[in-house]
């Protein structure tokens, strides 16, 4: 732990210096390189070894990623331009035909609306709660590790377990949520039956699993804000609210961007929670009228139930684009926050 904390401090120290943490300063390299060359210059074999070794060291990562990461990604685009089925393979080039079909596919649009709806309902409260929780954890607390662990426990629970446990908690006839609602006179809700209620239940699952995790990441960012900034603001008579908006939020902005983009990548691919929220062999349909079928579920349904690989690849490629667009929109929105101050 002390090692980790030391590493944390070292990174922070480097962050405050002028150069970025990723790319080392080029001038420094230029000065150092000749010194290294001269030292290696002695034996020919040793020189070759030192020149080849770095590539050998990074090659396992790049080789494996090329085969099982990059190739499937690019090949998705190729498959999406074909009629391609699970059983009979490639049945011919159709160009952008699959994309045209997708544009007028009402089931796809419904799944897209579901995915974005759940994403918005889940992410906005999650970020607000995580920021508040991070603020709360940033005090001189007793039993600090205990509190941090307690908010992270949900994230250790698997997505499948979360889906299964919460579908019982939200069960119509015997679930604890409906029992509680009934007791206070609101009346039971058939959570799976309606669009809004199924979205809400699924959002609760997502937020339960991720709020504490994001709070810890925001906490790390809060701790790297120089205390002098707050002291100076206090001397100038800034209120706590003013300090929060003028110091905390702008300083948290890069981390908020990071957290939001990670949430976007996860949210657009949402699959397991809604799958296990439903039940029976047709759970992939996301409810009787597809009221909570996400795009990722529709993709899997097309690929494996419908055996249409080409069309499924088209959906996957559109999802990539969607992640790019939503991330860009997030960046723009969060940039607004800073310019507001």
Partner 1 sequence: MRRAPVTLYVALALTALLSIAPLYFMLVMASRTTSEILSVPPPLVPGGELFDNIERVFANEDVIFGQALLNSLIVAGVTTVSVVVCSSLAGFAFAKLRFRGRNALLLVVVGTMMIPVQLGLVPLYMLMNKLGLNGQLSSVILPFLVTGFGVFMMRQYASQAIPDELIEAARLDGASTWRIFRSIVFPVLRPAAAVLGLLTFMERWNDFLWPYLALDAEHPTVQVALSRLSGGYYTDQALVMAGTLMGTLPLVVVFIIFGRQIIGGIMEGGLKA
Q: Rule CB under 8 A: is residue 14 a binding residue for partner 1? A: yes
Q: Rule CB under 8 A: is residue 46 a binding residue for partner 1? A: yes
Q: Rule CB under 8 A: is residue 38 a binding residue for partner 1? A: no
CB of 89 or CB of 335, closer to partner 1: 89
Helices 106-137 and 249-268 pack at an angle, to 10 degrees, of 140
From the list 17-25, 91-99, 102-110, 242-250, the region that binds partner 1 by CB under 8 A is: 17-25
Question: Could you give phi then psi for residue 238, rounded to 5 degrees?
Answer: -75, 135
CB of 23 or CB of 184, closer to partner 1: 23
How far apart are the C-alpha atoms of 148 and 128, rounded to whole Å? 18
Q: Give Cα separations from 206 to 61, 123, 176, 203 (angstroms).
A: 31, 9, 19, 5
Shortest CB 120 distance to partner 1, Å: 19
Six-digit token string for 268: 């657009």
CB of 22 or CB of 184, closer to partner 1: 22
* Identified binder of partner 1 from the candidate list 121, 133, 189, 202, rule CB under 8 A: 133
Q: Rule CB under 8 A: is residue 137 a binding residue for partner 1? A: yes
The interface with partner 1 within residues 234-273 (CB under 8 A) comprises 255, 258-259, 261, 265, 268-269, 271-272
Q: Rule CB under 8 A: is residue 168 a binding residue for partner 1? A: yes
Six-digit token string for 194: 């309606």
CB of 29 or CB of 288, closer to partner 1: 29
> For partner 1, how many residues bind (rule: CB under 8 A)?
115
The interface with partner 1 within residues 190-229 (CB under 8 A) comprises 208, 212-213, 216-221, 224
The interface with partner 1 within residues 267-296 (CB under 8 A) comprises 268-269, 271-272, 275-276, 279-281, 283, 296
From the list 109-117, 133-141, 241-249, 329-337, the region that binds partner 1 by CB under 8 A is: 133-141
CB of 72 or CB of 289, closer to partner 1: 72
CB of 2 or CB of 339, closer to partner 1: 2
How far apart are the C-alpha atoms of 293 and 206, rounded to whole Å? 15
Shortest CB 228 distance to partner 1, Å: 14
CB of 31 or CB of 120, closer to partner 1: 31
User: What end-to-end distance do the CA atoms of the chain give, in Å?
Assistant: 37
Burial class (CB in 10 A: 0-12, 13-18, 19+), 16: exposed
How far apart are the C-alpha atoms of 268 and 133, rounded to whole Å? 25
How far apart are the C-alpha atoms of 181 and 179, rounded to whole Å? 6
Q: Rule CB under 8 A: is residue 139 a binding residue for partner 1? A: yes
How far apart are the C-alpha atoms of 337 and 79, rounded to whole Å? 41
CB of 163 or CB of 290, closer to partner 1: 163
Q: Which of 340, 338, 140, 124 is nearest to 251 (CA)?
A: 338
- String of DSSP letters for 113-138: HHHHHHHHHHHHHHHHHHHHHHHHHT
């Amino acid at each position: 732990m002390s090692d980790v904390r030391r590493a944390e401090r070292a990174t922070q120290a480097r962050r405050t210096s002028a150069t970025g943490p990723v790319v080392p300063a080029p001038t420094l390299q230029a000065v150092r390189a000749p010194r290294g060359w001269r030292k290696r210059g002695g034996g020919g074999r040793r020189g070759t070894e030192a020149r080849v070794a770095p590539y050998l060291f990074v090659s396992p990562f790049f080789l494996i990623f090329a085969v099982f990461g990059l190739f499937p990604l690019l090949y998705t685009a190729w498959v999406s331009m074909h009629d391609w089925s699970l059983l009979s393979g490639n049945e011919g080039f159709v160009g952008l035909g699959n994309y045209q079909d997708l544009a007028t596919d009402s089931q796809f649009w419904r799944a897209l609306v579901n995915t974005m709806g759940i994403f918005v309902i889940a992410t906005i409260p999650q970020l607000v709660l995580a920021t508040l929780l991070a603020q709360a954890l940033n005090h001189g607390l007793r039993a600090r590790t205990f509190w941090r662990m307690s908010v992270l426990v949900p994230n250790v629970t698997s997505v499948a377990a979360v889906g299964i446990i919460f579908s019982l908690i939200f069960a119509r006839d015997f679930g604890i949520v409906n029992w509680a609602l009934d007791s206070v006179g609101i009346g039971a809700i058939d959570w799976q039956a309606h669009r809004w209620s199924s979205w809400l239940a699924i959002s609760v699952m997502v937020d339960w699993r991720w709020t504490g995790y994001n709070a810890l990441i925001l906490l790390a960012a809060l701790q790297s804000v120089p205390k002098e900034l707050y002291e100076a603001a206090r001397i100038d008579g800034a209120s706590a609210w003013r300090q929060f908006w003028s110091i905390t939020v702008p300083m948290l902005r890069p981390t908020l961007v990071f957290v939001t983009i990670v949430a976007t990548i996860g949210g657009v691919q949402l699959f397991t929670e809604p799958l296990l929220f439903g039940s029976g062999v047709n759970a992939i349909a996301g409810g009787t009228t597809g009221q909570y079928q996400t795009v990722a579920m529709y993709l899997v349904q097309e690929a494996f139930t419908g055996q249409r690989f080409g069309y499924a690849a088209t959906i996957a490629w559109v999802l990539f684009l969607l992640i790019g667009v939503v991330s860009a929109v997030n960046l723009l929105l969060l940039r607004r926050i800073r310019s507001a101050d």
